[in-house]
Amino acid sequence: MRSIQLIDAPTDGYWRGTAQAGGASTITLSASFSQDSDLMIGRFVFITSGTGIGQFAQITGYNNTTKVVTIETAWATLDSSWVTPDNTSVYLVESMRYKLWDFGNLS
């Protein structure tokens, strides 16, 4: 069985921004980002330009006061060539995800 996930996110607005900082397993979103912590868990954050371009990780925690996103594991653990994001990292937080399944030939 195979699956594919389609990610949807706006191209502007507060779902996209420049990080304030990064840590081994965190990224600090822009000061203008505001979202309920419960709604952030399980989403993905993508680095679309700057330091860490091409990296992505699932969000396991979010503090709306500090804007710090905690990810599933350290960036470098996800891929040995990945780096810690910094204040040049432009991110995109998914706003909706669709999962499509291919069960193949069931006969």
Q: CB neighbours of 32 closer than 8 A, spacing ≥ 6?
A: 14, 17
Q: Which residue has the higher pLDDT, 77 or 18?
A: 18
19-53 confidence digits (pLDDT tens): 999 999 999 999 999 999 998 998 899 999 999 99
Which residue reads 């309920």 in tokens? 36
50-86 confidence digits (pLDDT tens): 999 999 999 999 999 999 999 999 999 888 899 999 9
Q: Which two tokens stand for residue 20?
A: 């304030």
What pTM does this model have?
Answer: 0.80
Q: Which residue has the higher pLDDT, 97 or 66?
A: 66
**What was the pLDDT predicted at 102?**
60
